[in-house]
Structure 1
Amino acid sequence: MGLSSSLASAMSGLRANQAALSIVSSNVANSQTPGYVAQSPNQIEVTTGAFGSTVTTTGVSRDLDTYVQGQLRTETGGGGYADQMANILKQLQNVYGNPGGSGTLETALNDFTSSLQALSTSAGASSAQTVAVAAAQSLAQQLNLTTKGIQSLRSNVEQDLGTSAQQANASMQQIADINTKLQGLSSSDPSAATLMDQRDQAINTLSKYVDVRVVTDGSNQANVYTNTGIQLVGAGLASKFSYASAGALTANSLYDSNPAKSGVGAFNISLPNGSSIDVVANNVVSSGQIAADLKLRDQTLVQAQTQVDQLAATMASATSDKTTAGTAVAGPPSGFTVDISNAAPGNSVNLTYTDTATNTQRQITIINVTDPAALPLQNATNANPLKVGVDFSQPMGSILSTLNTALAGTHLSFAGSGTTLRVTDDGINAASVNSASVTKTISTLQSGNAQLPLFTDGSSALYTGAITSSGSQMTGLAGRIGVNAAVVTDPSKLSIYNTSPVTPAGDTTRSDFLYTQLTSSVFSYSPTTGLGSSSQPFSGTVSSYLQQFLSIQSNASTQATALQQGQSVVVSTLQAKFNSTSSVNLDSEMSNLIQLQNAYAANAHVMSVVQSMMNTLIQAQT
């Protein structure tokens, strides 16, 4: 090796040491900077001649584990989802209150049934009547307050969706802008490293709101997708969430894929190519805070509302509906007749039959639906009972045609005249009709029946469970339910159920009936409450149903909190693992600094030796 090449090598070493020293200095200075990734110099050997080589610094490397980084982003999305679910479900528990505490549905129902028992015990004393009416009003008011609390939570979630959309949009635009700045820059360029730190921070922020999958191409452009394949960010282009809030929500404010029918805020994503996608209908997001908000708004809290609506509807129907068994028809074919006259919209004919081929017992509920736009009724697969809608006010011929067509596969046959409907098997012994009954809502207070419209839709409207094109009367009933104004004005109606002959003093028929209906009678509840299934709906007393859905909500809140805590541990663990490689380690940097100092001194000493040798050569030649 010649002296000149030795000098060149030493000088390149000094330059490399200086570059490395700058990087160490940057690492130390940014050791507390959020999102800063520690850097290392990229050094390569360069041949200078027959012997030896020089060194050159080609840029920097960011010290990060991309696999752990991807896992961290995935779990950050899960953390955002878990945090929001746990937060809202905990607030929902506060709406229900502590079991056995004052101001809860459980306590209000118990107080009302206790007041009915006391009314019977006191043989209908006027003071007991007044107490019972007050207890009924308190129960109705508690249902109103519960609905208000649930819809307040839905409205808060609706508002949060707008805020989250803005935050996500800001992050996506920042990523796109940085992509533009990185165009033409090598990933090892020191200025690129700073931009990539900023881009990673923006992607991490975005992952809190939506699930992200990042693909970096050969030109150092980060392409961000959701797990469903929707591109959020490309090379210099960003998608944008658009949200049109519907304001304060009510129980009737429900999502519909048809924007004209939807009662909640429209949540779409506009892609760079100009197309717009419904985020909910297309399941664009599966994790993150936005996914949690959408599930809470459109599913979890809607189901919670359905549960209290079902409670209100069951209470109203239990006290006002009268079921009359059908009259047996001697066969063959055998069956029953029922009278459908004076049936209100929502009233029904209930059938039970056995499929003799499989020896399976099935149920059919024929519902009086007077709005043709609501027909045909939709049933889940294997629904039991199977619901069929028909307008009872139509001529009998039209009713029979509808039923025989809709239930053609059941081997049942419908006939009748006037207002009498007859159902039998079709004569081939493939089905056996076990029972038939008709349920009608008693609309007056002194009909001679124990039933009365005690709980109403509002202060006076009759609750019958009517179904229209806009939905079921049950939807939102818990927020509207009240005590019949006529009963509030005259509490004696809780005891007097007939005028001719007049109900005798001390007669407890009505109060006994009300107490039994609300404490002992068994009812079936809609699978939309989250209890039971379409083939096996949950059945139980009013109080057991209340206890069941309160228990489900409590368990859901507990599980959400446990998931939140577990997710927090996972995120913290991954963050620590990521930091172990990407964050600045001051001990390591100080060690690097000492090595650089020694290397610098060694290179400088080489230069000094080369200079001395050159001086010797010059002196020898002279």
Structure 2
Amino acid sequence: MSLNDALSIAMSGLRANQAAMSLVSSNVANAETPGYIRKSTDQVAVNSGNGSSVRTVGVNRELDQYIQAQLRTETSGAGYASLRSSFLQQMQSLYGDPGSVGSLEYSFNALTTAVQALSTSADSQSARIGVLNAAQTLAQQLNSMTQGIQSLRSAAENGIKDSVTTANTLMKQIAKINNQLTANPQGGTSTDSNTAALLDQRDQYVTQLSQLMDIRVTTNGANQVTIFTGSGVQLVGNEAATLAFNAQGTVSAGTTWSADPSKSNLGSVVIEFPNGGSIDLTAAGAIKSGTIAAYTELRDKTLVEAQNQLDQFAASISSALSDKTTAGSVFPVPTVPPTALPAGTPTGFTLDVSQMKPGNVIHFTYTDTATNTQREISFMRVDDPSVLPLPNTATTDPNDTVIGLDFSSGFGSVLNQLNAALGGQATFSGTAGALTVVNNPAFSNVNAASVTVTQGPNDLSNGNPELALFTDSGTAYSGGISKSGSQMAGLAGRLTINNAIVADPSKLVVYSGSTAAGDTTRSALLLNQLNNASFTYSPATGTGSDTAPFKGTLSSYMRQFVGQQGAAADSAKQLADGQNVVLNTLDKKMADASGVNMDDEMAHLLSLQNAYSANARVMSTVNELYKTLMQAF
């Protein structure tokens, strides 16, 4: 080996050592930098006629791509789970701990206790005031809970908006870096220092994007990435798509999202492609994880369901106290003494429907003689014909068929609608004050009939012990349906105490002009209804199902949905904690595989220093040899 060869080999070694030490310095300096990937030099041996030297051809990122892909998936899951847990914990605080002061259960029990006290001391002014105070507290509790739930929905709406803005910024940055990357002549993972830094930055953007939504990432030979949603919609290539979100300013119990833009009151996430065209990602369900998915689910499902629970409870407690159901009078009117009717004589019932309010129903049961099958039908008063026919959600009883009756065109029209609805199986006639339904013996046998009428806020001394203790912002709650929706929607936020009773608490006892002092008829009815009235609750509340809806008393229903909310909050927290454990484990694996270990870097630096010294000694020795040779000549 010539001295020139030895010198060349030593110099190549020094250059390689200098490059490696520079990377060690960079690794140490960026040990705590988020997203920084440990770097090393990519060296190749160069053979010459009398030996071999080393050449640095680029920089390697010590990246474990498999762990990185797992980390992004779990980042999406953790973002979804943590956000959902946070919201459910906040919602749980609205309900309060079961039995604790300020909880919904405590307020309801306080009302029941106050009415019980009134039923034993009906002439006590303090007992009457106690009922009003307890009722007021319960109404305010429901108002406050509604406000809290809608505030959370508003926060979710704004959260989607902010997430979309952040996602657009990240996607543009990723596309920009894609365009800065050129074909890599070295192939594989080798690149130069500046490009390696760009890749670190790009991967950090991708990881941040994965927290917002579930994504799938592919990489080409030039280290450029193409990003898709988990469902396959392309977000980023050499150009970035744009996410648009038409955020709404106000969110209330009446504002809901719909896949039909003409019916939706809330924003949708829409992707707009660089070359034209768009997809409604919310309607398509294309975002299934990450914070955007969590915000959307909370806004449109979880919190809506919670509001439905409160509204159903408010509606049930209002109806339990104010609705009066009266069975129909037998038709024909029995004679005294009773005489047998001629065979085949139509029989039925007579009902007074003159006091029906929108949402009140005429209910009857009949047996189909052809199949001997008993059927239930409810006719609901409707004053807005634009909502007809009524949706299936108009009833919570799977055995009951609800048909809407347009009362806006007079009672003659109502009779025509009733007769048309049954197609001759039964016949309706008479007036609003004496509506008669009779069977057609060839087709049916009418077994029972009744009408439910809601007592209005001022119907306090009409002889009926039922009363409207609670009102819908001062008007009667009767469950009506109009083009603006069901009266039940948002009722918990509008529930108030009847001002007429506040002005005259004696009406909690006095229900007619002849009510005796200390009469407990009304207070006993109120107590019985609060304790024993049973309702069938809509599956939209998350209790029961379409085929087997939950049925029970006010207290059992309240315990059901309060318990569900508590269980959901606990489950969400456990999921978030578990997801964070997985994420932290992957973070550690990623740090071990691709992060900077200070001990390893120091050991590597020491090794490089020794190699540098060795190469320097070779150069020094060669230099001395050259001097000796020169002196010899």
Same fold (TM over 0.5): yes
User: Is the counterpart of residue 301 in structure 1 residue 303 in structure 2?
Assistant: yes
Q: What does residue 586 of structure 2 align with?
A: 574
Of 177-186 and 287-296, deviating more is 177-186
User: Is the counterpart of residue 39 in structure 1 residue 58 in structure 2?
Assistant: no
Q: What does residue 95 of structure 1 align with?
A: 94
Would the aligned equivalents of 1:77 and 1:207 in 2 still touch at CA under 8 Å?
A: yes
Question: How many positions carry a matched residue from both structures?
Answer: 607
User: Is the counterpart of residue 178 in structure 1 residue 199 in structure 2?
Assistant: no
Would the aligned equivalents of 1:42 and 1:61 in 2 still touch at CA under 8 Å?
A: yes
1:498-540, CA deviations, whole angstroms, 9 ceiling, x for partnerless residues? 23xx122222111111110011122111111111111111111
Q: 1:427 to 1:573 in 2, by over 3 A?
A: farther
Q: 1:332 to 1:241 in 2, by over 3 A?
A: farther
Q: Pick from 517, 542, 545: which aligns with 1:505?
A: 517
Per the TM alignment, residue 422 of structure 1 is displaced from its structure 2 partner at its CA by 4.2
Q: What does residue 119 of structure 1 align with?
A: 118
User: Is the counterpart of residue 415 in structure 1 residue 423 in structure 2?
Assistant: no
Q: Aligned partner of 1:119: which letter? A: L
Q: 1:10 to 1:477 in 2, by over 3 A?
A: same
Q: What does residue 189 of structure 1 align with?
A: 192
Q: 1:589 to 1:508 in 2, by over 3 A?
A: same
3-state SS of the aligned residue for 1:32? coil
Per the TM alignment, residue 553 of structure 1 is displaced from its structure 2 partner at its CA by 0.8
Would the aligned equivalents of 1:168 and 1:206 in 2 still touch at CA under 8 Å?
A: yes
Q: Pick from 238, 261, 264: which aligns with 1:262?
A: 264
Per the TM alignment, residue 579 of structure 1 is displaced from its structure 2 partner at its CA by 0.3
What 5-or-longer segments of structure 1 have no aligned partner?
A: 405-411
Per the TM alignment, residue 135 of structure 1 is displaced from its structure 2 partner at its CA by 2.2
1:423-502 equivalent positions in 2, closer than 5 A: 436-443=449-456, 444-459=459-474, 461-499=475-513, 502=514
Q: Aligned partner of 1:599: which letter? A: A
1:270-298, CA deviations, whole angstroms, 9 ceiling, x for partnerless residues? 33233333332121311111211111111
3-state SS of the aligned residue for 1:214? strand
Q: Distance in 2 between matches of 1:427 and 1:58?
A: 98
Q: What does residue 559 of structure 1 align with?
A: 571
Per the TM alignment, residue 392 of structure 1 is displaced from its structure 2 partner at its CA by 4.9
1:398-434, CA deviations, whole angstroms, 9 ceiling, x for partnerless residues? 3332455xxxxxxx934322354648699689xx976
Q: 1:613 to 1:414 in 2, by over 3 A?
A: farther
Q: What does residue 344 of structure 1 align with?
A: 357
1:203-225, CA deviations, whole angstroms, 9 ceiling, x for partnerless residues? 12122221222111223211112
Q: TM-score, normalised by structure 1?
A: 0.89
Of 321-330 and 132-141, deviating more is 321-330
User: Is the counterpart of residue 583 in structure 1 residue 595 in structure 2?
Assistant: yes
Q: What does residue 335 of structure 2 align with?
A: none
1:217-268, CA deviations, whole angstroms, 9 ceiling, x for partnerless residues? 2232111121122222211x22233333322321111112233432224443
Per the TM alignment, residue 356 of structure 1 is displaced from its structure 2 partner at its CA by 11
User: Is the counterpart of residue 597 in structure 1 residue 609 in structure 2?
Assistant: yes
Q: What does residue 559 of structure 2 align with?
A: 547
Per the TM alignment, residue 196 of structure 1 is displaced from its structure 2 partner at its CA by 0.5
Q: Distance in 2 between matches of 1:246 and 1:517?
A: 41
Q: Pick from 519, 524, 537: which aligns with 1:525?
A: 537
3-state SS of the aligned residue for 1:592? helix
Would the aligned equivalents of 2:122 and 2:523 in 1 still touch at CA under 8 Å?
A: no
Q: Distance in 1 between matches of 2:11 and 2:566?
A: 72
Q: Distance in 1 between matches of 2:149 and 2:175?
A: 39
Q: TM-score, normalised by structure 2?
A: 0.87
Would the aligned equivalents of 2:364 and 2:448 in 1 still touch at CA under 8 Å?
A: yes
Would the aligned equivalents of 1:523 and 1:540 in 2 still touch at CA under 8 Å?
A: yes
Per the TM alignment, residue 387 of structure 1 is displaced from its structure 2 partner at its CA by 4.3
Q: Distance in 1 between matches of 2:443 and 2:39?
A: 85
1:600-611 equivalent positions in 2, closer than 5 A: 600-606=612-618
Q: CA RMSD in A?
A: 3.2
What 5-or-longer segments of structure 2 have no aligned partner?
A: 332-340, 408-412
3-state SS of the aligned residue for 2:428? strand
